[in-house]
Structure 1
C-alpha cells in the first residue's frame, strides 16, 4: 500500500467525519446519515491500513476516529473497569515498549557514568579529599549510608521515598517541553551521586553493604527513572524530527502517550518505595532481599514486554485519544 497516496485520497473523508462527530449534538437528519456512512467507510479504511501497512501512527489516528465515531453513532460508553484494564494492558505498556531504545540508552549511559565515577573516586585520594574529610567519609560508609534506610518509621519513609522518586520522574517528563535537553543532566547528576557513594563504599571494603542495600529497591526505582527519561526525550525528539507529518500533530500524539507513562510510573514508584521502606532495611538475609528486588524488576520488564509487544502488533500507540470509549458492537 502506498500510504501517502492512501492518506491523500481519503483524508477529506476522515476530516469530514471528525467534523461531524464534534457537532453530533447539532446535526440534521441528513448529516446523521452522512456520519453513519462515513463511520462505516473509515472503519473499512482502518481494516485496510492494519492489514497492509505498518504505520502505527496512522493506525492510531484512525482507531481513535473510529472509536469516537462509534460512540457518537451508538451512544454506548465502555464501563470504567474496561478503561482501567485497557490502561494497564495497552496504554502504559505499549508506550514503555515503544520507547525501549531511549530507555536502554538512558540505562547504559547512567551505568557507564556511575562506574567510571566510582572507579575514579575509589582510586583517587585527591577526589575523596574533595568529597569530605576522612572523618566525614568514615561516617558515611560506616553509619550514614545504612542508617538512611532505617532511621525513620517505614510508613513515613515510604511516602518520602515515593515523593522524591516521583519528583525525579516528573522532572524527566516535564523537561520534554524544552525538547528534553535538561534530562541528560538530571541523569548525570543521579549517576554521579551513585558513583561517588559507591566508590567510597568499595574503597572502604563495604561494597557488599552497598549492593545489599541498593539492589532490592534500586533496580525497579532506576528502571522507572530511565523510563521517565526515555519518554521525555522521545517527546522532545519528536519536535526536532517529526518526520513527514505536521510537528504539532506529532507533538500532540506523543504528549498524550507520555501521560500514560506518567500515570503508570506513579504506581511503579510506589512499589519501589514500599520495597525500599519495608524490604531494604529489614532483617531478612541479603540474598533474600536482593531476590525480592530482582523478582520485582523481572516482573515489571516481563509485563512491559508481554503486553507492550502484543499492543504494538495490534497497531496501538498509547495515544489516549485512541482508547475506545464504547462497548463492542456487532
Structure 2
C-alpha cells in the first residue's frame, strides 16, 4: 500500500464530457513546481483517457490510457459537464481499480458523480457544487453529502465543491504531501489565500427551493414575506391547510429539508443579502430575519455559513 510520504505520480482522468476549468487548473497547479523544489521532487502529472476528448471548444489527446490510473499515487477526476449523463463505464472501472490498488482519489466539483458511481462515496462524507448536492444525495444515499463545505477529506477519497474549491483542494493535497510552506508558496503564485479549510462554507446558503406550481408554492411565498416574524411549523401547517405531520412530509419531498430547517436556511439567506447590501447593524439584521438577537444570529449564521456575520460582511459587502 502506498502512503502519502511517497506519492508523486498524479493521473488526471480525461474521459466523458469534461469542463475545461477544473482540468486546466489541476494540470497547472501540479505540473509546475515551486522555485524551492526541482521537477524531480515535484509531481509527475499524467493525462489519462480512452482517446481524443472534447472539452468545450477544445479537443485533448491524453498521453496514457485509463488503465494508467491504477499505477498512479493520486488520481484526480475533473468536473463533468452534464451530471444527467452517467459517467462512462470505463472511467468508473478505472477509478475503482485505482482505489483498490491504493491510489488516493480526488474529485473536483461534479467529478464526485464518477466517484459515487464507483462506490467510493458509500459510507463517506462528500461534497460537490451546491447546485448538485441534492442530486448526488439522491443517487448515492449511502454517502453523507455535505452541501456547506469547500471540500471533504476521507484520507483515500477526497471531494471538492465548485471551481474555486477545486483549487482549494489541490492546495490541500500539496499541503499534505509537501507541508504548509510549499503549499503557501503555490497559493501565492496563484494569487490566492494560502489555505481555506475544507470545513469552511461555500458561502451560498441552500438556494431557493423548486419554484413553479408545486403544492407548497403558496406557503413558501407566504413564509418568505414574513421571515421577520417568529413563525412556527404550526403556523406553516395552518397556512397550508394540512397537519404538521403531512406538512413535514411534503416539505421534505419538495425541498429536501424539514420546515424548520428550511425556515432557518431562508433566514440565513436573507441575512446574507442584508449583510452584503446594507450597513444595518447586526442587531437590525437579526430583527429583520426573525433571529431575535444578535447572539442568535451569530450562532446560527456561523453554523450554516461557516464564518461569523461580521466576517461575511467584510468579505462580501458591496461598496456604495
TM range (shorter): under 0.3
TM-score by length of 1: 0.26
Determine which structure has greater relative contact order: mean sequence separation of CA pairs < 8 Å that are 6+ residues apart, divided by chain length: 1
Q: TM-score, normalised by structure 2?
A: 0.26
Query: Whose Rg is larger?
Result: 1
* Structure with greater helix share of residues: 1
